[in-house]
Amino acid sequence: MFSKRKGPKPLVIKDCTLIAIATGRRAQNLRELRDNLQTVHPGSIYYHFWGGLLRSRFDDPEYNNDFAAWANHGLHDKRLAERLGVINPTDYCDLELLRRELIEVIEERLDETEFVPWSKTDQQFQFIRAQIILFDTPWRIRDPEELAAIVPRMPVGSIFYHFIDARRCTSDGSDDFRAWLAGFSPEYADLCDRLASVDPYFVVLTELRQQLASLFSEYFGRGYT
C-alpha cells in the first residue's frame, strides 16, 4: 500500500484524442507554403508537428513532422526535408518562435534554388489544425510512488496529454507530472530534473511511455524517497 501524506490535490489522469479540422488552406509549391505559414492558425503548426504521434503515419515515417514529409514526397526536395526534419519543437518556448524557425529554413532554401519547387496537384500540402478532446479515466494519483505503477498502464493519449500537451498551458513549460510533483517541493526536485531531461519528440508514444515508466520505477525502486 502507498502511504498517505500531505501534498497537493490528486493528479487526475485524462485521456485524449486529436480531432483534425480542415483550415481550407493549401500549398502547391514552396513559396505558397512559406506564405501560408506566416498567417496560419498556430494550432495548425502544432498539429503538423505533434499530431503524428497520435495518428498512424504511413508516408515517410522517417520524418517527425508533416512539413518535412511533404518536402520529401511532395516536392522531392531531400535537402529541405532533412533541414525541416531536424527541427525539434521542444526547443521553442512557444509556437510563434517555431513558426519563425520554419519560415527561416524555407526562405533559406528559396534563396538557394533557381526554381521554386512544386508538387503535383494531388499532392498539395493541406493545412490542418487540431482540437483536443478529453476523456476521464479511473486514475487519481495521490502519492508520487503510484506513478511507478500507473504510468505503464496509461493509454498513450494520457501520456500525450499530460507529458506533451500540458507544456502549452504552464508558464514554465512544465508537464503535468513535474507541475504536480512541485507541490511536494523540494522533496522531488531531483525527479523533476530527470523528467525535464526526457525529450518527447523523436520517439513514438509507446516508447515515451516506456521511458517514463522506467524512470519512475528506477527512482522509486532504489529508495530515493
Q: How far apart, in Å, are the Cα atoms of 205 and each of 7, 51, 58? A: 29, 11, 16
Specify whether 123 is located in the same domain as 143: no
Specify whether 103 is located in the same domain as 47: yes
Specify whether 99 is located in the same domain as 158: no
pLDDT of residue 225: 41
CB of 11 within 8 A of CB of 151?
no
Q: Which of 101, 129, 157 is the last residue of a domain?
A: 129
pLDDT of residue 62: 81
CB of 161 within 8 A of CB of 16?
yes
Specify whether 104 is located in the same domain as 154: no
Specify whether 115 is located in the same domain as 169: no
User: What's the domain range around 163?
Assistant: 11-15+139-221
Specify whether 189 is located in the same domain as 105: no
pLDDT of residue 60: 53
Tell whether 5 is covered by a domain: no
pLDDT tens digits, one per residue of 31-63: 999 999 999 999 999 999 999 898 765 455 689
Between 155 and 171, the more confident residue is 155
Q: How far apart, in Å, are the Cα atoms of 201 and each of 69, 85, 108, 143, 206? A: 15, 11, 24, 28, 12
Specify whether 28 is located in the same domain as 69: yes
Instruction: Return mean pLDDT, the chain.
Output: 92
Q: Are strands 125-141 and 11-27 parallel, antiparallel or unpaired?
A: antiparallel
pTM for the model stands at 0.90
Q: Which of 110, 129, 148 is the last residue of a domain?
A: 129
Specify whether 206 is located in the same domain as 112: no
- Dihedrals phi, psi of 3, to nearest 5 degrees: -75, 150
List residues bridging with 21 in a β-sheet. 129
Tell whether 40 is covered by a domain: yes
Rounded Cα distance between 46 and 69, Å, is 15
Q: How many domains are contained in the chain?
A: 2
Q: Which of 79, 99, 129 is the last residue of a domain?
A: 129
pLDDT of residue 55: 79
Tell whether 134 is covered by a domain: no
- Dihedrals phi, psi of 145, to nearest 5 degrees: -65, -25
pLDDT tens digits, one per residue of 73-129: 999 999 999 999 999 999 998 999 999 999 999 999 999 998 999 999 999 999 999
Q: How far apart, in Å, are the Cα atoms of 47 and each of 2, 50, 127, 128, 197? A: 38, 5, 9, 7, 23
Three-class SS of residue 48? helix
Neighbours of 171 (CB within 10 A): 6
Specify whether 86 is located in the same domain as 143: no
Tell whether 4 is covered by a domain: no
Specify whether 153 is located in the same domain as 120: no
Grid coordinates representing 166 are 500540458
Specify whether 87 is located in the same domain as 178: no
Neighbours of 112 (CB within 10 A): 9
